């Protein structure tokens, strides 16, 4: 039987003046990277909204408030772990967030190493994780179920 694991994370979609705030994720060995929405994994017992606020602050320097829940993106993948294949599920809770204070800065010693604003029109050309496309679709289309069609 293939080992199973699940990760629950919360992310903030911050859009202003036609730009979106992104963080650059890097692998532990630095070999892989891609732009992603600021956010990350919940600590045990942590509320998802609180996790989103904490993670955006840690990764970008901004204090945010949630404006609304956009939805949940659920993905299942087969990954290679240290002991073979893993059946991995990621549950990504996505909020629309508004910046209320702070200044843009980069995270030090975390899973991201940069934060930056990008024109929405430029996002398609960026090296990015699939969460960006899902989160922007949730933001744009606001599906009534909070769920986008999986491709």
Which pLDDT tens digit goes with each residue over 16-36? Answer: 999 999 999 998 888 889 999
Average pLDDT, the chain: 93
> Looking at residue 151, what is its pLDDT?
57
Whether residue 78 is predicted with pLDDT greater than 90 in this model: the reply is no
CATH of the domain at 37: 3.90.79.10
Which residues contact residue 115 at a Cβ distance below 8 angstroms, ignoring those fewer than 6 apart? 21, 22, 23, 24, 38, 59, 60, 61, 104, 105, 106, 107
User: Residue 150: inside a domain, yes or no?
Assistant: no
Dist CA 13 CA 134 (whole Å)? 11
State which residues form the domain around 92: 4-141
User: Residue 18: inside a domain, yes or no?
Assistant: yes
Residue of 80, 89, 76, 97 whose CA lies nearest to 16: 97
How many independent structural domains does the chain possess? 1
- pTM as predicted: 0.92
User: Residue 151: inside a domain, yes or no?
Assistant: no
**Strand, helix or coil for residue 133:** helix
Strand order in the sheet with 84-102: 39-41, 4-13, 84-102, 62-81
Average confidence (pLDDT) over 83-111: 93
* Token pair belonging to 127: 């090296």
């Amino acid at each position: 039987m293939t080992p199973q694991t699940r990760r629950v994370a919360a992310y903030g979609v911050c859009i202003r003046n036609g730009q979106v705030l992104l963080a650059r994720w890097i692998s532990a060995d630095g070999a892989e990277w891609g732009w992603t929405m600021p956010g990350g994994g919940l600590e045990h017992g942590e509320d998802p909204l609180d996790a989103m606020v904490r993670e955006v602050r840690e990764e970008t320097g901004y204090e945010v408030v949630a404006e609304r829940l956009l939805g949940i993106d659920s993905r299942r993948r087969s990954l290679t772990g240290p002991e073979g294949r893993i059946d991995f599920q990621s549950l990504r809770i996505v909020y629309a967030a508004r910046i209320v204070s702070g200044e843009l800065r980069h995270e030090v010693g975390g899973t991201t190493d940069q934060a930056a604003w990008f024109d929405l029109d430029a996002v398609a050309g960026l090296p990015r994780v699939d969460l960006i496309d899902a989160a922007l679709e949730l933001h744009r289309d606001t599906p009534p179920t909070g769920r986008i069609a999986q491709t």
